[in-house]
Structure formats: C-alpha cells, structure tokens
C-alpha cells in the first residue's frame, strides 16, 4: 500500500495534509523518516509512527455498543446524536451500524466497517436470531404465546415468522426473532392488544451483550466473537479478521 493512502485511511488528514506531514518529517517507517507519499509499505508488518506514536492499521474493525435511549441508529442525523457519534474517539470515519434499533430501544448493536459481514448477517434468508428483553403493559396469556410462536399477523403482507417466547416474570419476557422488520416487536404486541414498556436487545446471532457495558459504552469484539459471526455469515475462517 502507498504510504499516503495508509495515513489517510487512518484519518490522519487529507492527502495534501499527509504530504505536508511527510515533508515535516513527522512520519517514520521502521525508524527511518519517510518523505515520499508514494513509498510502498507493508501495512501489516512495517512499524510506522506519526509524531512518535505507533500506528495500528486494521482494515476491518468490530465494536459492540450498548445503545442508550435517544440515540439514532444511523451514521448521520440532523436532529439527534447517532450511534456513530458515540464512537468518535476511535477516529474512524467508515463505521456504520449493522442493522438498527429504534430510538427508544436499548442494548446490543454491532458497529463495523465490514460491509460484507454486515450484509450477510442482515440478509433475510439467513434468519439470524435476535433476542430482546421486553417489559409489557400486561402479562401474556397462553393464547398470546401460542400466537407469537406460530407466526402472528401484524397487518403486513406476510405474518411475522414464528418467534420464541420465554416468560421471565409477570410482565417481562425474552423474545427471539429471526427477522428484523420496522417496529416489529411493538407491532407484534399491538396485534395482541398489548404494549411495550421497554425494549432491550440482548443478543444478535451468537453475539451476546456484555452486561459489563453501561448504556452508551462500547468495546471491541474479541477474535472469538468475530469468528463466530463470520461463521454465521457463511464467511471462511480468517477472511477478514
């Protein structure tokens, strides 16, 4: 990879700014000052520094966010903070949420720059499971549970796919879906004459929310978590880690 492209991909500046940094001797490659923008480097093995700070290049990155209420699952928004804003300290301008959670929904959201992985995980034909902790206006009846597990009519062209219901307490359940329609959980409960008080996603495929993360906090995925998601997406081992 060209050195100037490497530095730009790490969001150190525009192409012209990077050239200026090189002229100023602020960049070294394996301990030697580098001045040529077109210098070829091995981004995975060369030791590259900027202002004496070692640069860590990773083409693809993966973060788990515990999304708080009031934040929009988008890259940009004119009226509210976005989930990408919560990760701005990472200095990556290529992150996006894999899927979405409603503004008033909390919990697990995957943010990455790996478009292929996100596309595959969200593809309807894969039916990747998503589990939510739901508190309800009223307790579910046996007939309600049966309707949810059979595939309830939510007023759209097709009924919802069969869900899995685990009753936890009087007004709280775990609900596992295999699709991700707009406002789906709320529509399912509305079809039962019920309402959703709170909604929190606790798992996405094999990825489970780290309960050590407070709302608004995030962490990078472990290599094991990334590999499990890749396997669910049908990607070969080692393709993109």
Contact present, 193 and 220 (Cβ < 8 Å): no
Out of 46, 85, 102, 210, the active site residue is: 102
User: Which residues, 6 or more positions from 52, have their beta carbon under 8 angstroms from its beta carbon?
Assistant: none
**Residue from 173, 104, 179 nearest 137 by CA:** 173
Number of H helices, E strands in the chain: 6, 13
Please indicate whether residue 102 is annotated as part of the active site: yes
Measure the CA angle with vertex 125, ends 73 and 175; round to 5°: 60
Per DSSP, the residues of 122-185 read: H-GGG---EEEEEEESSPPPHHHHHHHHH----SSSSPPPP-EEEEEETTEEEEEESS--TTHH
Q: Which residues pair with 207 in a beta bridge?
A: 204
Rounded Cα–Cα distance for residues 239 and 156 (Å)? 38
Q: Where in the sequence numbering do the catalytic residues fall?
A: 102
């Amino acid at each position: 990879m060209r050195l100037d492209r490497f530095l730009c991909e790490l969001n150190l500046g525009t192409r012209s700014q990077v050239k200026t940094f090189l002229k100023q001797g602020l960049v070294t490659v394996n301990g030697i000052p580098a001045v040529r923008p077109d210098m070829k480097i091995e981004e995975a093995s060369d030791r590259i520094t900027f202002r004496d700070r070692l640069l860590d290049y990773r083409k693809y990155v993966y973060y788990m966010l515990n999304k708080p209420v009031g934040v929009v699952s988008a890259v940009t928004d004119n009226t509210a903070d976005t989930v990408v804003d919560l990760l701005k300290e990472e200095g990556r301008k290529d992150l996006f949420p894999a899927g979405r959670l409603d503004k008033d929904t909390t919990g697990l959201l995957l943010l990455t720059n790996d478009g292929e992985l996100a596309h595959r995980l969200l593809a309807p034909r894969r039916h990747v499971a998503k589990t939510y902790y739901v508190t309800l206006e009223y307790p579910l009846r046996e007939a309600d549970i049966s309707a949810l597990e059979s595939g309830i009519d939510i007023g759209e062209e097709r009924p919802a796919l069969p869900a899995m219901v685990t009753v936890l307490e009087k007004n709280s359940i775990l609900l596992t879906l295999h699709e991700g329609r707009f406002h789906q959980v709320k529509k399912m409960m509305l079809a039962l004459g019920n309402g959703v008080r709170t909604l929190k996603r606790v798992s996405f495929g094999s990825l489970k929310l780290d309960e050590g993360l407070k709302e608004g906090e995030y962490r990078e995925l472990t290599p094991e978590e990334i590999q499990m998601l890749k396997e669910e997406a049908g990607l070969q081992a080692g393709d993109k880690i």
